[in-house]
């Protein structure tokens, strides 16, 4: 099954669905079609009969390089909704590409390799389990472009990353490896063949009582759920304050031109 040449979805006989990001020429970067395709896949998975687990991966040299940089130069769509509008339950469009995997009733295992930046890292964070190649290049990248992480990251990183470590990674957008991600809590396990390991974990889960597995996932979400809606809204409100402001535009231009940014103090 395929949507917009961006995502494929297959269901194996053991009940394991495999969702693949299939824009390898762009390192699976996120453009409007990719956002829509990922959300469609998440919706479709939740309706599958006999579903036991999901493996989420990216084709080519990367899991997902984050936002397609051409999006920065494109004018906003005239029918684009404010990011503070909840278009997908408790989330906006951009948050839903990550949150859809937490809303999936069965465990989702992300197989991460190559590059996993920005929105790509937040999508991987939506999975229950992240199997990461030790040499994967990772970063919470948004600050490079003068933005805050606003695709569900703050809701998803609770309980994973120590508070001061998370602050440093966000504030500096420092790149780190899959090995370091394991130390920080952003990877569950590192493996030189993350896809094979993710498929093995999914197959193991598929052999368990599916009712108990779904119940265990609901319990895991219940531990974190009381403040999720508020966190998602706060992400959107903070992003709305900085998007397309002079300093955010300067951050983008400096990044594109590979120079030191010249920010104003308003």
What order of strands is seen across the sheet that includes strand 176-177? 115-117, 137-139, 176-177
What is the pLDDT at residue 154?
95
End-to-end CA distance of the chain: 50
List pLDDT tens digits, range 101-132. Answer: 999 999 999 999 999 999 999 999 999 999 99
- pLDDT bucket at 65, cuts 50 / 70 / 90: very high
Q: How far is CA 80 from CA 2, 6, 83, 143, in A?
A: 25, 21, 9, 23
What is the pLDDT at residue 123?
98
To the nearest whole number, what is the mean pLDDT of the chain?
93
> Left if phi > 0, otherwise alpha if psi is -120 to 50, otherwise beta: which for 50?
left
What is the pLDDT at residue 68?
93
Residue 20 lies in a domain: yes
What is the pLDDT at residue 3?
57
What is the pLDDT at residue 228?
86
State the Cα–Cα distance between residues 130 and 108, nearest whole angstrom: 9
Residue 137 lies in a domain: yes
What is the pLDDT at residue 216?
85
In the chain, the percentage of residues whose pLDDT exceeds 70 is: 95
Domain residues for the domain of 13 are: 2-193
List pLDDT tens digits, range 70-96. Answer: 776 666 677 778 999 999 999 999 999
Residue 230 lies in a domain: no
Work out how many domains the chain is built from and give that number. 1
Residue 63 lies in a domain: yes
Place of tokens 């309980």: 159
Mean pLDDT of 16-20: 98
Mean pLDDT of 16-25: 97
Report phi then psi at 155, rounded to 5.
-75, -35
List pLDDT tens digits, range 21-60. Answer: 999 999 999 999 999 999 999 999 999 999 999 999 999 9
State the Cα–Cα distance between residues 162 and 87, nearest whole angstrom: 31
Is the pLDDT confidence value at 139 over 90?
Answer: yes
What is the pLDDT at residue 73?
64
Residue 264 lies in a domain: no
Residue 232 lies in a domain: no
What is the pLDDT at residue 81?
86
Mean pLDDT of 183-211: 97
Mean pLDDT of 167-186: 98
Mean pLDDT of 246-259: 92
Alpha helix positions (H), the chain: 32-46, 70-73, 93-103, 119-125, 153-156, 163-172, 178-184, 194-206, 210-224, 228-242, 246-257
CATH value at residue 124: 3.90.226.10
State the Cα–Cα distance between residues 41 and 15, nearest whole angstrom: 16
What order of strands is seen across the sheet that includes strand 7-11? 2-3, 7-11, 16-21, 53-58, 108-112, 129-132, 189-190
Q: What is the pTM of this model?
A: 0.89
């Amino acid at each position: 099954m395929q949507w917009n040449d961006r995502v494929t979805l297959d269901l194996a006989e053991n009940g394991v669905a495999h969702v693949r990001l299939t824009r390898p020429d762009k390192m699976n970067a996120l453009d409007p079609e990719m956002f829509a395709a990922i959300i469609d896949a998440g919706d479709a998975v939740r309706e599958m009969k006999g579903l036991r687990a999901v493996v989420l991966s990216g084709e080519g040299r990367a899991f997902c390089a984050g936002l397609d940089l051409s999006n920065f130069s494109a004018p906003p769509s005239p029918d684009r909704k404010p990011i503070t509008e909840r278009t997908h339950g408790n989330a906006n469009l951009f948050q839903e590409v990550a949150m859809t995997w937490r809303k999936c009733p069965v465990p989702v295992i992300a197989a991460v390799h190559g590059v996993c930046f920005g929105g790509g890292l937040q999508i991987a964070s939506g999975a229950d389990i992240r199997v990461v190649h030790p040499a994967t290049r990772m970063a919470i990248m948004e600050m490079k472009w003068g933005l805050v992480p606003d695709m569900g990251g703050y809701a998803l990183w609770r309980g994973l990353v120590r508070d001061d470590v998370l602050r440093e990674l966000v504030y500096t957008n420092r790149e780190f490896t899959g090995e370091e991600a394991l130390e920080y809590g952003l990877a569950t396990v590192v493996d030189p063949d993350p896809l094979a390991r993710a498929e093995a974990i999914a197959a193991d889960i598929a052999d368990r009582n599916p009712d108990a597995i779904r119940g265990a996932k609901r319990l895991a979400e219940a531990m974190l759920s009381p403040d999720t809606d508020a966190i998602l809204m706060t992400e959107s409100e903070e992003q709305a304050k900085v998007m397309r402001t002079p300093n955010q535009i300067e951050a983008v231009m400096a990044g594109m031109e590979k120079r030191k940014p010249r920010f104003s103090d308003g």
